[in-house]
Structure 1
């Protein structure tokens, strides 16, 4: 379904639904419009120095951990994963780092709003959060940085043929993806390595780190579900899906499918092949997944090499979200 945009639409306007202008971005468009936007952004991502990216993430990680190491304990998400994801994503984009408290509030409103179909009261804060983010991104594109992803996009936007509003919305999504998705994944991985399977961080040092991160994405599945609109009558797995129907894809369940993954509830850091759906699949696969994979790999490597004694102090708590798994608190200590 993720690959078949002719039958299953990410753009709900194709089945008559209305979409707020701020919600129309690369991920909510279908080919051929989607292809043009993605090409522009992929060119900007490929233009970055990825060796320098790894060095930058390692430096930010090392400095923040050195500060936290002076304390008896700290809250992993709000004091480590979120500020680290925010500073590194901003550096990657080439823009000033937004206020961490403001960014955290905006991200929580947007993630909660993903479940507005079940809890309608969550929809209004999302619109307000999108407007606040839009003001920030418009300023970046009006006065683009000389380096980074945003600088390249601003330089090439005029000749791309892409609607400036869609460029703004997609940059906003790129910031949100790097910050919110990156920090959520790191938090969930830390829970798996330090709480659920406390011996795994030590094993990470000796593992093929690329494969290990892919396995942690599968196991953690920060995005649990996505939805598609059926555009034309289609048979799927022996079930007839009618045009106009909404279909929810449970990515978290797919990533634990025993028919696809032997012993799916076990972390196998060397699992290969690993056809997980943690970053999506097909034309709508996550644009920021390469950055998130590098971010997670570098941070885990630094933790495993420099702070192998890090441990969980208590069980984690979670926000009541269904579309995205969202850690609320996870207290850890270095000693």
Structure 2
């Protein structure tokens, strides 16, 4: 644990400390107003910016609606989408796994969950990427303006959803239940946007990271043919290289983390990637152990503010693994991955992959 002038916060890296910060909503606030901060002008009244008790009815409404959807059916369709993409790309000299596989499969899955028409993949990916980069505006101020422009365009897309004929899905259910739960339509709007973006960007990142990990560990994909390893394998892929690198809380009352005093109002940044490699929690943390149990990683957060796209990320990763297992050959890198520097989300922006056999090419 140390103080970072650049981030203006305490940095915690051990699993136990990160877990405690995420779990202790009394002392560490997602709603920074509880710690004496003014709400930033871009703040949205979503589950990610509220704490109990304000957070509770919103979370309950969305969690209930999420579980009421046909998640098995969404998973089956994601498997179908994956198989169709891999069949189309089977003979390609190379393809970008992030752009041509992870993004369309994730976008279709999250739109099926919401019950809305998917926007064009490439155009939406540009908007999503701008918003994701906007998360780092505290470090890179120049990314804020493009992020706000992208948010405006996404709001236009969502306006079309709200005014279109209702289709069965999460959006219809939360809108019909919002009044009874005492939740305004504006709050539904903000939370649908967060769920939509988290469901897409987090899932794309998790899927691209999982594919890269499987490629870099020969034999790992074949081991996942064992159905008993599929669920634990998906969780291990998330732990090994999770997309979300951390989150920040504001200290509500002066307290201590071990022997370090954290003053009211100070910020604490919990680094998920570091926590997931803590050897005190995960034996052999730098190894990909597909049968690792228990595996209570922090890749998708923890506690009441755990990532709202967590279930969807698992569904899509599982579907993509099943699609890769059915592919004509194991995937391999066609060129080195390309990464855009980001602090919040970590995954290869371009992941050149091929199914072509290196030996037959020679």
TM-score, scaled to structure 1: 0.95
Q: Deviations over 1:101-156 (max 9, x none)?
A: 22111111111111111111112222222222122223322335321111211221
Query: What is the total number of aligned residue pairs between the two structures?
Result: 334
Q: Are 1:114 and 1:323, in contact at CA under 8 Å, matched by a contact in 2? A: yes
Is 1:32 matched up with 2:53? yes
Residue 164 of structure 1 aligns with which residue? 185
Q: How does 1:303-314 map to 2 (within 5 A)?
A: 303-314=324-335
1:50 & 1:228 partners in 2: Cα distance?
Answer: 31
Q: Aligned to 1:218, what secondary structure does the other structure show?
A: helix
1:309 Cα offset (Å): 2.3
Equivalent residue for 2:107? 86
1:55 aligned residue: 76
> 2:32 — aligned with what?
12
> Partners in 2 of 1:227 and 1:329 — Cα distance?
28
Rounded to whole Å, the distance in 1 between the matches of 2:334 and 2:91 is: 17
Deviation per residue, 1:280-312 (Å, 9 max, x gap): 111111122112111111210121133442211
Distance in 2 between residues matched to 1:77 and 1:172, nearest whole Å: 22
Q: Decide whether aligned partners of structure 1 residues 101 and 302 sit closer, same or farther in structure 2, where only a CA change above 3 A counts.
A: closer
In structure 2, how many angstroms separate the alpha carbons of the residues matched to 1:152 and 1:265? 42
Distance 1:202 1:308 in 2: 11
Q: Residue 224 of structure 1 contacts residue 323 of structure 1 at CA under 8 Å; is this kept in 2?
A: yes
Aligned pairs for 1:136-215 (under 5 A) are 136-143=157-164, 145-194=166-215, 196-206=216-226, 208-215=229-236
Work out whether residues 222 and 326 of structure 1, in 8 Å CA contact, stay in contact via their aligned partners in 2.
Answer: yes
After alignment, is 52-61 or 64-73 more displaced? Answer: 64-73
Preserved CA contact (<8 Å) 2:83 2:323: yes
Structure 2 residue 116 is the aligned partner of structure 1 residue 95 = yes
Match of 2:142 in 1: 121
Larger RCO (CA within 8 A; separation ≥ 6): 2
Worse-matched range after superposition: 267-276 or 286-295:
286-295
Q: Bigger CA drift: 46-55 or 223-232?
A: 46-55
SS at match of 1:59: helix
SS at match of 2:269: strand
Deviations 1:187-235 (A, max 9, x none): 01111111x2132111221252111111110001211111011111011
CA distance in 1 between counterparts of 2:48 and 2:329 reads 38
Which stretches in structure 2 are left out of the alignment for 5+ residues? 1-20, 357-362
Give 3-state SS (helix, strand or coil) of 2:250's partner: strand
How has the CA–CA distance of structure 1 residues 134 and 22 changed in structure 2, closer, same or farther, with 3 Å as cutoff?
farther
Residues 26/144 of structure 1: CA separation in 2 closer, same or farther (3 Å cut): farther
Distance 1:144 1:228, change over 3 A: farther
Determine if contact 1:22/1:130 at 8 Å carries over to the other structure: no
CA distance in 2, matches of 1:307, 1:94: 33
TM-score, normalising length: structure 2:
0.89
1:216-295 paired onto structure 2 within 5 Å: 216-295=237-316
